Amino acid sequence: PPVDYTIYTDGSCLKNPGGPGGWAIVAKDEATGAVTEQNGGDPMTTNNRMELTAAIMALRLAPTGTRVALYTDSQYLKNGITKWVSGWKRRGWRKADGQPVLNQPLWMELDELYTAHTVYFHWVKGHAGHPLNERCDQLAKRAAMQAR
């Protein structure tokens, strides 16, 4: 389907869990062709938190109501938002085993942004030579190094 934005995301953590991490997005506005790169870091985080943060930042960038093709190399991110989140919400943000969902505040924000857009999630194999995924990886690692 046609989209307004094509966005690649990635997260990185140098010492997972509990080390410096970074997130990155490379976003293309399909109407203008303009490409935007953003990244940021956290001195004490996890890879999964950085993957979620990247997706949140991507959907914050795209105006509400727009159609977004979001590319990620994180199955955790893709499956969480497309398959698991509805069950977590039904169970009061608990997993099937009754344990609390990890990273709940990030999932809640992502879910709110996800429902405010039309999002088509695409999984890409990481470190497989896809140029925009590789660029995101490079930007996320740079942000993690700077956060150290």
User: Could you give the residue numbers annotated as active site?
Assistant: 10-11, 51, 73, 127, 137
Query: Quick check: 98 and 40 in contact, CB under 8 A?
Result: no
Secondary structure string (H, E, C) spanning 62-82: CCCCCEEEEEECCHHHHHHHH
Handedness of CA 128, 134, 16, 85 (dihedral sign): negative
Tokens coding 132: 């925009």
- Separation in Å, CA 128 to CA 35, 52, 110, 125, 142: 22, 21, 26, 6, 19
For residue 120, give the amino acid letter: Y
Sorted by sequence, the CB contacts under 8 Å of residue 128 that are 6+ apart come out as none
From the list 120, 9, 1, the residue with the least C-alpha distance to 68 is 120
